[in-house]
Structure 1
Amino acid sequence: MTGPGTSTDSVPAGPGRPPGNRTVAVAVLAATVVLVAAQVASGSSARLVLLLVFVPALLAGLGTLAQTVAAAVWVTGVIVVSSLVFPPPSVAGRTLTLVGVVLAEAIGVLLCARRLRRDRELFRMRQTAVALQRQILRPLPAPTRHATLDGRYRPVEEDALVGGDLYDIADTPYGTRVLVGDVQGKGLPAIGTGFAVLSAFREAAFRETALTGVALALENAVTRHNTYAAQSGEDERFVTATVFGLDGGSTVQAVNCGHLAPYLLDGANPGAVPLDAGVPLGLAELAGPTGEVRAVQRFELPDDATLLLVTDGVTEAADASGGFYPIDRRLRELPHRSPDALAPAVEEDVRRHSHGPLRDDLTILTLRRTPGSGQPDGT
């Protein structure tokens, strides 16, 4: 299983590995032999050896600075010797040729230095993004006394580490509390709102005795963030989310704020848990002057069952004809539904259904109760 903070997602790749010195030397020597032989075979009127100027230019995009400089010096020397053996018709032509070669090689070296500097800057930025990601989204799998959260998280933005989907799990004095949500909008522009919700959850999960109190704290966080966004000229957003509460018993509490229902895989007939949707965070005022009274709903999660939590990046993944991913049917048909294989199997099936790149952030989480986790904590 992979998620933010795991070895496959959180360790930034360094600058691309350049070719080895021996490989470069053999390639440059081979190109030199071929072009010099062609020069000799064609006679003094041909200037085929000048094609060697492209060798340092190629290394400028692939190799190290030392390799590019060495190739540039070698090519310049070969062309100088060639111009003495096969001189141009005039001294001026020979001078212009040498000046042009030296200028081309110098440009190649400068481009290589610029590329390497940019690669180092991008590497540092990637490291910074990984450090930020670890503060925003918890690495998976994330176990607590009562449950383990695992799964896949894939932002839609190319090469991004964090998008508009959000999740968290907290082992609190009131039991384990889990959050899954989706900010209105896609990718990077939604990060600010998502971070506000996650920050509020991490505080309220330990402070509020009731799950409805956690949901109210999230509502207030989105409202405050939207006020700040309006003052800053940014778009106001709402967030669909569900907060779950687990303890040592088999009953799960849930407060749904407009999010997709979870799917319970317990035996041969997986299906959606019938939760009332409620109103998304940030839109509670639509429920009336006093705001919506968010209710706690309950359902059973046996020790051997798996709860699948997804965002609309899964359910709204469309095929070529515009048909959405039929998650209810596909969960019954997927051959691999073991807890560890479930999220990867769903992701692969979603990608196969959509026949292309992601159009929205993709979050597929599995929540399993820890067997023998003790007696209820009184959540």
Structure 2
Amino acid sequence: MVRRREGGGVGGSADGYGAEAEARAPGNRTVVLGVLASTAVVLLAQAGTGTSARLVLLLVFLPALLAGLGTLAQTIAVSVWVAVVVAVSTVLFPPTSLEARAGTLVAVLGAEAALVALCARRMGRERQLFRMRQSAVALQRQLLRPLPVLTPDVQVFGLYRPVEEDAMVGGDLYDVADTPYGTRVLVGDVQGKGLPAIGAGFAVLSAFREAAFREAALTAVADSLEAAVQRHNAYAAQAGESERFVTATVLGLERGPEVQAVNCGHLAPYLLRRGRVETVDLAAGVPLGLAELAGEVRTVQWFALPEDGVLVLLTDGITEAQDRDGEFYPVEEGLTALGTTAASLLPQALDGAARHWSGGRRRDDVTVLSLRRTTP
């Protein structure tokens, strides 16, 4: 039987929309210093050019900028400040007529009211997207198995982190099944993001959870996943939705050093042993959903996983992490630096290294699994 322990394998953010919005918006100190500096420059230019210039009206661009980037409170506060500055400037540098003076104040107040309304509308839409994203993340977490998973053949540790900075979650998936044919492990990534990607991932997971116990041959398991993606795409086409493909690797492990693998266009695993890292040489194959178009027949490949080795499976959330210069994260170098890290801590350590490389910017889900043989 598969034994599961609840832990930190599936991570996520519990912060609400307000905290997320404040983290994205410019800091209050930055806003205050920027507004004061801009006001000083404009007023000095106004004083130097004489009473006929209306340069103070340029300050209206400050709440306009915050309406698109800042919080509602920041937009309101800066709008009030700009209104006061314009009113004082109108007294110190009056227009030629009282009507012009009143028209200036009315125009500024009307523009700022419109900007505050636009900011409120923007934040309302962002709040709605946040709730949709949180619902999608919660659904995806329910579909994925908690980690770690321990079987008689292998210990599987891991981390799944959805990309919560984007409008929608991605389509990473994984599973572990303790079957009469040994332990079967699946890791994959659905093309695209959002609920449609989760739907395709659910189709693959459902097929794996049946075929892993039913099929003796690992190629038959992969064929079942292929058929599941094809059926999902047929329903999607009928509904007018985009068809999708899924990259995946299916592993079969039993007692002994050998591992069976069927690779369907997914990233090759890495093997860590005695401080050294090497890429497991697996032919890529074609992704699930495209085998019929390519005319490909799935085949089993073999490689060794010694008792003192750790096998690392991951998705492109790690490999496509980029620094400020656009350089991708060097996974092999990163794993070499983590060569002495315990298998149970390796997924979190690798994710932390990739996030440090990218400065915390993430564009896709992150899934990392580390496998080692179960010792008697």
**TM tier, shorter chain?**
0.5 to 0.7
For 2:85 and 2:316, the matched residues in 1 are separated by: 62
Q: AA paired with 1:250?
A: G
For 2:45 and 2:124, the matched residues in 1 are separated by: 37
2:229 aligned with 1:222: yes
Equivalent in the alignment of 2:119: 112
User: Mapping of 1:298-313 within 5 angstroms?
Assistant: 300-309=304-313
Q: Deviations 1:138-160 (Å, cap 9, x if unpaired)? A: 56x533233114367888x9665
Equivalent in the alignment of 1:375: none
For 1:359 and 1:65, the matched residues in 2 are separated by: 27
2:110 aligned with 1:103: yes
Q: Give the superposition deviation at 1:178.
A: 0.7
For 2:279 and 2:320, the matched residues in 1 are separated by: 16
SS in 2 for 1:170: strand
Question: Could you tell me the TM-score, scaled by structure 1's length?
Answer: 0.65
Q: Deviations 1:4-27 (Å, cap 9, x if unpaired)? A: 832479998721345677876676
For 2:71 and 2:351, the matched residues in 1 are separated by: 42
Equivalent in the alignment of 2:169: 161
Q: Give the superposition deviation at 1:264.
A: 4.0
Q: Deviations 1:285-320 (Å, cap 9, x if unpaired)? A: 7999xx97977x765533211224467999999xxx
Q: Deviations 1:40-84 (Å, cap 9, x if unpaired)? A: 565544434434433433443444434433443443344334323
Equivalent in the alignment of 2:11: 6
Equivalent in the alignment of 2:324: none
2:136 aligned with 1:122: no
RMSD of equivalent CA atoms? 5.2
For 2:364 and 2:27, the matched residues in 1 are separated by: 40
SS in 1 for 2:22: coil
Q: AA paired with 2:96?
A: P
Fraction of identical pairs, as percent:
54
Q: AA paired with 1:56?
A: P
For 1:65 and 1:152, the matched residues in 2 are separated by: 33
For 1:44 and 1:23, the matched residues in 2 are separated by: 31
Q: AA paired with 2:10?
A: G
Equivalent in the alignment of 1:86: 93
Distance 1:343 1:254, change over 3 A: farther
For 1:243 and 1:371, the matched residues in 2 are separated by: 22
Distance 1:81 1:8, change over 3 A: closer
Q: AA paired with 1:254?
A: Q
Question: Could you tell me the TM-score, scaled by structure 2's length?
Answer: 0.66
Is the Cα contact below 8 Å between 1:187 and 1:361 reproduced in 2? Answer: no
Distance 1:119 1:268, change over 3 A: closer
Is the Cα contact below 8 Å between 1:306 and 1:366 reproduced in 2? Answer: yes
SS in 2 for 1:254: strand
**Which of 328, 337, 340 is the aligned partner of 2:339?**
337
For 2:181 and 2:12, the matched residues in 1 are separated by: 31
SS in 1 for 2:11: coil
For 2:141 and 2:187, the matched residues in 1 are separated by: 17
Equivalent in the alignment of 1:147: 155
**Structure index of larger Rg:** 1
Q: AA paired with 1:15?
A: A
Q: Deviations 1:191-233 (Å, cap 9, x if unpaired)? A: 543331112113444x437354644543442343344345445
Is the Cα contact below 8 Å between 1:179 and 1:241 reproduced in 2? Answer: yes
Alignment gaps of 5+ in structure 2:
1-7, 322-328
Is the Cα contact below 8 Å between 2:276 and 2:336 reproduced in 1? Answer: no
For 2:34 and 2:119, the matched residues in 1 are separated by: 18
For 1:283 and 1:166, the matched residues in 2 are separated by: 18
2:256 aligned with 1:250: yes
| Count of equivalent residues | 350
For 1:170 and 1:130, the matched residues in 2 are separated by: 23
Q: Deviations 1:259-282 (Å, cap 9, x if unpaired)? A: 566554445776566778888755
**Which of 359, 366, 371 is the aligned partner of 2:375?**
371
